[in-house]
A and B are shown apart, each in its own frame.
Chain A
Amino acid sequence: MVIPSALESGQAKSAAQSFNDPLSHYAAKLRNNRNLEPNELHSRRRLVQLEREPLRPSRRRGPNRTIVEVRDSTEMRLINLLERSFHYLSDQNYEQAVAALEQAAQLNPKEHFHAARTYLRALHDYPRALHHLNAYDALTPDFDDSDGLFPVSYLKGLCYRNMGNHAEAVRQFSIGIDSLALKHGSEWVNYKQYVSRAVSYLALQQPDKALDDLVIAAKNCPNFSPLVTYYKAKAFEQQGRPDEAKRTYQDALFFWQANRVKGIGQPEDQYNPVFEDDIDNASKQ
Chain B
Amino acid sequence: MKRKHNQLLIFLLLVSVRSIAQSPTPAQLVGTWIGESTEVDIGWVRPLPWRMTFRADSTVEIALMANGERPKTVRWQVKDRAVQIDTVQFGAAQWTLRGDQLHINAWQPQRYRRFTDVPMDSATVRKAISSRTWSTDSLIYNLFDDGSVCLKNERTGNTTLHYWQLVPVESSIFLVIRGTHENPVNFSHFPLQITQAGSNMLTVRGWNGKRWGEFGFVRTGNLKPDDHCRTNDFQLCNTFLPPGDQKYPYYEYKKGRLGAIRRLVAREFVPVSGVTQAGLVRFRFVVNCEGKAGMFEMQTVDENYEPCRFDTRLTDQLRRIVQERITEWEPGKGTGNDTNNTYDTVCLLTFRLKDGQVAEIFP
B245 nearest in chain A by CB position:
A42
A42–B352 touching, CB < 8 Å: no
For residue A199, give the distance in angstroms from its CB to the closest CB of chain B. 15
Name the residue of chain A whose CB is nearest to the CB of B339.
Answer: A263
B44 touches A92 (CB 8 A): no
0/1 string, A61-88, CB within 8 A of B gives 1: 0000000000000000000000000000
Question: Which one of B42, B252, B259, B330 lies within 8 Å of A44 (CB-CB)?
Answer: B42
Bound-state CA distance A43–B348 (Å) is 20
Is the pair B258, A277 in contact by a Cβ cutoff of 8 Å?
no
Is A48 in contact with B348, judged by CB distance below 8 angstroms? no
Min CB gap B13→A, angstroms: 15
Contact across chains for A275 and B257 when beta carbons are under 8 A apart: yes
A263 to B42, CA, bound (A): 36
Are B248 and A98 in contact, with the CB atoms below 8 A?
Answer: no
Chain B 253-288: CB-based contact to A (< 8 A → 1; otherwise 0): 001111110000000000000000000100010000
Interface check A265, CB cutoff 8 A: yes
Given that A42-B244, A265-B252, A273-B258 are contacting pairs, would A92 and B348 also be in contact in the complex, using a CB cutoff of 8 Å? yes
Distance from B186 Cβ to chain A, minimum over Cβ atoms (Å): 22
Q: Contacts A48-B42, A98-B305, A265-B252; is A278 near B259 (CB within 8 Å)?
A: yes
Q: For residue B117, give the distance in angstroms from its CB to the closest CB of chain A.
A: 36
Residues of A within 8 Å of B192, CB to CB, are none
Residue of chain A at shortest CB distance from B257: A275
Give the residues in chain B near A44, CB-CB below 8 Å: 41-44, 244
Chain B 141-159 residues near chain A, CB threshold 8 A: none
Partner of A124, one of B248, B251, B260, B360: B360
CA–CA, A279 and B332, complex, Å: 24
Number of A-B contacts (CB under 8 A): 59
Chain A residues in 8 Å Cβ range of B251? 266
Look across to chain A and name the residue whose beta carbon is closest to the beta carbon of B243. A91
- A275–B261 alpha-carbon span in the complex (Å): 11
Known: A91-B243, A92-B249, A265-B252. A275 touches B339 (CB 8 A): no
A275:B362 contact, CB within 8 angstroms = no
- Bound together, the chains give a CA A123 to CA B256 distance in angstroms of 22
Given A44-B43, A91-B243: A276 and B301 within 8 A (CB)?
A: no
CA distance A39 to B255 in the complex (A): 28
Q: Which of A38, A44, A48, A98 neighbours the largest number of chain B CB atoms within 10 Å of its CB?
A: A44
Q: Does A99 contact B (CB under 8 A)?
A: yes
Give per-residue flags for B37-62: 1 if the beta carbon is below 8 A from chain A beta carbons, else 0: 00001111000000000000000000
A278 to B263, CA, bound (A): 10
List chain A residues, Cβ under 8 A from B248. 37-39, 90
A123 to B348, CA, bound (A): 12
Decide: B244 and A92 in contact? CB cutoff 8 A: no
Q: Is the CB of A45 within 8 A of B257?
A: no
In contact, A90 and B244 (Cβ under 8 angstroms):
yes
Residues of A within 8 A of B301 (CB): 95
Name the residue of chain A whose CB is nearest to the CB of B260.
A277
With A39-B248, A95-B305, A124-B360 already in contact, the answer to whether A276 and B44 are too (CB < 8 A) is no
A 40-57 to B, binary, CB cutoff 8 A, 1 in contact else 0: 001111001000000000
A150 to B: closest C-beta gap in Å: 19
**How far, in angstroms, from A249 to B258 measured CA to CA in the complex?**
19
The reply to whether the CB of B293 lies closer than 8 angstroms to some CB of chain A is no
Q: Which residues of B contact A92 (CB under 8 A)?
A: 249, 284, 346, 348
Q: Within 8 Å CB of A278, what residues of B?
A: 256, 259
Nearest CB in chain A to that of B248: its residue = A39
In the complex, per-residue mask of A244-285: 1 if CB is within 8 Å of any chain B CB, else 0: 000000000000000000010111000001011110100000
Residues of B within 8 A of A280 (CB): 256
A182 to chain B, nearest CB (A): 35
**With A95-B305, A124-B360: A45-B41 Cβ-Cβ less than 8 Å:** yes
How distant is the Cα of A98 from the Cα of B280 in the complex, in angstroms?
14
Determine whether the beta carbon of B244 is less than 8 Å from that of A275.
no
**Could you tell me if B249 and A99 are in contact, using CB atoms closer than 8 angstroms?**
no
Q: Which 7 A-B pairs have the closest CB atoms?
A: A277-B256, A275-B259, A42-B244, A95-B305, A44-B42, A44-B41, A39-B248
- Contacts A/B (CB < 8 Å), 22 sampled: A38-B248, A43-B41, A43-B244, A44-B44, A45-B41, A90-B244, A92-B284, A92-B346, A92-B348, A94-B305, A95-B301, A123-B305, A124-B352, A265-B330, A266-B252, A273-B259, A275-B257, A275-B258, A275-B260, A277-B255, A277-B259, A278-B256
